[in-house]
Structure 1
């Protein structure tokens, strides 16, 4: 419907196919806009429609929530697709639906997705989520691919991804949907609240030395990846899409922005990163005749100049979304030979970068260097252990209290009782600063 009031004309959906109901809603909208103006009136009308939908039990379905989140949710398209896939998988597991493997039976997978997508979120109770959690704790929730029980860490990841859909930054994407007042499963506790932490396999200095000795000059692309992750703290996707345009060799910086990376994982991922003199000179010498739009990491397949066709690679899932995946696989193999035996070996380099900064400058400096939006992310996944800091005032000598009798022994050997009625006094050393 098109409505013109106060000299403004807008197109508004009445969310009904019934002529009589549409006329009634159009009248309500007109009255609200006349009385309150377009902005307030339209918000009041939309809120009224949502309340009406809830009263009729017309809660948003999983498919509607997924589509709205893909359109306007936070994060990159690849991250949003992973979160949406998790939503379907989680709802299917909670409702007890069998999840067929896409690669084995595409038709069965399509029917399963249609069935789960038509499930209203409000039809899932909090008790169903709690029962699902208890089954997971007993090892009765299984993987659709391997058939093995899901680890508790995987269950926690599913819950975190589910919560992220309804985060503060993504809620505006659902303003046209009738979400339940209390979203089920959003408050389920995690199994392992302990930080994942960073476990150092080999020292950063050892890796740097080995990389320079073994990779230069025959395996130069591998050396570039190691240096960008270990010395600058870039993510694998950022290294994959990094162009020479990002470098400012005069100011010794790398600028991470949509025009230099094509895509960003998060808004907080943008920034200007400082380079050491050695790293700056090294990449300055490598640039040579490469154009500004040339990728820093070159691949044997020749996809070394940024263009729109390559942008579609970032929409894929898994390792296939990386342009330089063949280079990354060689880097992971080489890191394994050097003793880096963790699951994500390239990401280990970024974690080592963050941990080295934390040791030298503190956790807040590490969080800024890693471009995290919240320092809690840095503490949870990138820190090896909690560092206990104890305040020490070496110039102040407190009296020693004997266990029996509460007798205070001063530096000059005098004794006094340290009871409630007798305040122990002592003198500061002569070199202590005096209050003015």
Structure 2
């Protein structure tokens, strides 16, 4: 048999590029019906494309067109052109929002500080876990991301399952679980109110307004629609310290030996500054000519609220003390520290002068200041002293509160005594001397003697 004179290249099956419809003639296939389909690999993934025809040549031509569209326009545009029914179904499908989805979306548009949002989302997760009766076991504290697994379980909860009725019932059950002790019930009310208030902040009007511009479809009603935090006990500040003695002790024990602690003490008690404001305060914010201190946003820190920006009047002694300290200081900050002022943490309030704050808190506790936040007590004492001398409106302005209610309910102690002298009511007035043997009031004489009621007999101090 004579060998075939054609070369191997001539004998090999002819190959066509993918841009040629003939390439796809052997690639198209039928499934359960007579319509052709094809599998096209592109961009690292493979996808099946229904060609909607029972003619092989027509199917091959359409497969080629799909491939060319993928190369030119990408997956999204090609699917919209050749699989419009799938794209339309995806657009019409409403993905149910989970707790995790909502928290992530709200975090992006939240206008406040990251540390504030962190507090809100922690309270919300706690409430969701309580509603779902999720109890954390030891695995939550597994150093190999055990807490992340527990959080993931909480965040997978559908937002639509957190209804206002369930939240209201949770609040009642939470208080009931505290037992019959009035003190424990009051503590539970405060805790429940704090949790609900923080959770409601996640669904504020500002956040919801921003989320309307996204594709997220929120349930109706929202979890906290119409939910009240509950009535809280009166939280007016009641002073438990002898502020005069405390100030004298600070002057004697801190002024020379621990000047940084004394500066913190003086700024909190003498100017009513918050910890964060003290921490980032610079010498440039003082105006020693006018005896004032400007609280404002700087490159080192922001303010708690817009109303916190204000010019504070300083007493002459306080202004002179800090002017002397500035001349001896080598730092741009009033409170010296070796910590990096640019260091920030998204998860907690990081203070460059934290070592000084802790030392002063320990000193205050040693002096009998037993409140949860001893340093903040100095600010409240400042407000109480201003209120005593100048009134509640001056105290609210000095504390830089946004409204008078905050000052009245949380920051000032009523130092003046309001007591009725009952002894004056119990002791009758002295009887006038008789005139010409007759009573001065013109009543007929009588042999009966009047015995005045002595306040001491009733146990009332005269």
1:111 lines up with 2:127 in the alignment:
no
**Deviations, residues 33-62 of structure 1 (Å, cap 9, x unaligned):** xxxxxxxxxxxxxxxx9xx78xx4x45432
**Deviations, residues 310-345 of structure 1 (Å, cap 9, x unaligned):** 2x14x3427xx2222221111111111222111110
1:327 lines up with 2:356 in the alignment:
yes
Query: What is the aligned partner in structure 1 of residue 132 from structure 2?
Result: 95
Counterpart CA distance in 2 for 1:260 and 1:273 is: 20
State which of 152, 166, 172 in structure 2 corresponds to 1:134: 172
1:83 lines up with 2:120 in the alignment:
yes
1:343 lines up with 2:372 in the alignment:
yes
Counterpart CA distance in 2 for 1:98 and 1:69 is: 26
**Deviations, residues 362-392 of structure 1 (Å, cap 9, x unaligned):** 3332222222223222233223369999xxx
**Higher Cα radius of gyration:** 2
Q: Give 1:130 shift.
A: 2.5
State which of 368, 381, 384 in structure 1 corresponds to 2:413: 384
In 2 relative to 1, CA 358–221 (structure 1 residues): closer, same or farther, beyond 3 Å?
same
What is the DSSP-based 3-state SS (H/G/I as helix, E as strand, rest coil) of the residue aligned with 1:287? Answer: helix
What is the DSSP-based 3-state SS (H/G/I as helix, E as strand, rest coil) of the residue aligned with 1:178? Answer: coil
Equivalent pair of 1:152/1:191 in contact (CA under 8 Å):
yes
1:222 lines up with 2:269 in the alignment:
no
Counterpart CA distance in 1 for 2:77 and 2:303 is: 39
What is the DSSP-based 3-state SS (H/G/I as helix, E as strand, rest coil) of the residue aligned with 1:272? Answer: strand
Counterpart CA distance in 2 for 1:68 and 1:16 is: 27
1:367 lines up with 2:405 in the alignment:
no
Equivalent pair of 1:233/1:353 in contact (CA under 8 Å):
yes
Q: Give 1:16 shift.
A: 12
What is the DSSP-based 3-state SS (H/G/I as helix, E as strand, rest coil) of the residue aligned with 2:298? Answer: helix
1:194 lines up with 2:233 in the alignment:
yes
Aligned length: 331
Q: Give 1:349 shift.
A: 0.8
1:317 lines up with 2:356 in the alignment:
no
Counterpart CA distance in 2 for 1:295 and 1:59 is: 51
What is the DSSP-based 3-state SS (H/G/I as helix, E as strand, rest coil) of the residue aligned with 1:254? Answer: strand
Query: What is the aligned partner in structure 1 of residue 382 from structure 2?
Result: 353
Counterpart CA distance in 1 for 2:245 and 2:177 is: 41
**Deviations, residues 92-128 of structure 1 (Å, cap 9, x unaligned):** 2222222467655553311121222232322222232
Counterpart CA distance in 2 for 1:174 and 1:16 is: 27
Describe how 1:251-262 pairs up with structure 2 within 5 A.
251-259=290-298, 261-262=300-301
1:206 lines up with 2:245 in the alignment:
yes
In 2 relative to 1, CA 59–241 (structure 1 residues): closer, same or farther, beyond 3 Å?
farther
Query: What is the aligned partner in structure 1 of residue 304 from structure 2?
Result: 265
183-192 or 160-169: which moved more?
183-192
**Deviations, residues 244-293 of structure 1 (Å, cap 9, x unaligned):** 232222232222222164222233322222222111111111012546x6
What is the DSSP-based 3-state SS (H/G/I as helix, E as strand, rest coil) of the residue aligned with 2:145? Answer: helix
In 2 relative to 1, CA 74–195 (structure 1 residues): closer, same or farther, beyond 3 Å?
farther
In 2 relative to 1, CA 388–158 (structure 1 residues): closer, same or farther, beyond 3 Å?
farther
Q: CA RMSD in A?
A: 3.5
Query: What is the aligned partner in structure 2 of residue 285 from structure 1?
Result: 324
1:180 lines up with 2:209 in the alignment:
no
Where does the alignment leave 5 or more consecutive residues of structure 2 unmatched?
Answer: 1-75, 180-185, 419-440, 442-462
Equivalent pair of 2:293/2:312 in contact (CA under 8 Å):
yes
Counterpart CA distance in 1 for 2:284 and 2:137 is: 45
Equivalent pair of 2:286/2:292 in contact (CA under 8 Å):
yes
In 2 relative to 1, CA 17–359 (structure 1 residues): closer, same or farther, beyond 3 Å?
farther
Q: Give 1:136 shift.
A: 0.4
Equivalent pair of 1:195/1:379 in contact (CA under 8 Å):
no
1:158 lines up with 2:195 in the alignment:
yes
In 2 relative to 1, CA 254–63 (structure 1 residues): closer, same or farther, beyond 3 Å?
farther
Counterpart CA distance in 2 for 1:138 and 1:383 is: 32
Equivalent pair of 1:254/1:274 in contact (CA under 8 Å):
yes
